[in-house]
Amino acid sequence: MKIGEFAKKHDVTVDTVRHYIYEGLLTPLRKNTQYDFSEIDDQVMDTILLLKSMNFKLEEMRGYLLFQSMCSGKALAYLGSFRKLFEEKLKENKRIIRENKTVTGTGIFGWKKRRRGKIAATIFRCMAECLSF
Give per-residue pLDDT as tens, 79-118.
666 777 788 888 888 888 888 776 655 544 444 444 445 5
- Find the domain containing 14 and state its range: 1-53
Domains in the chain, number: 2
**E-strand stretches of the chain:** 29-31, 34-36
Claim to verify: residue 112 and residue 64 sit in the same structural domain? yes
Claim to verify: residue 78 and residue 119 sit in the same structural domain? yes
Claim to verify: residue 66 and residue 37 sit in the same structural domain? no
Q: Is the per-residue pLDDT at 37 higher than 90?
A: yes
Which of 37, 53, 69 terminates a domain? The answer is: 53
Compute the distance between CA of residue 109 and CA of residue 12 in angstroms, rounded to an integer: 22
Cβ atoms of 112 and 74 within 8 Å: the answer is: no
pLDDT of residue 118: 54
pLDDT of residue 13: 96
Which of 32, 53, 74 terminates a domain? The answer is: 53
CATH number, residue 19: 1.10.1660.10
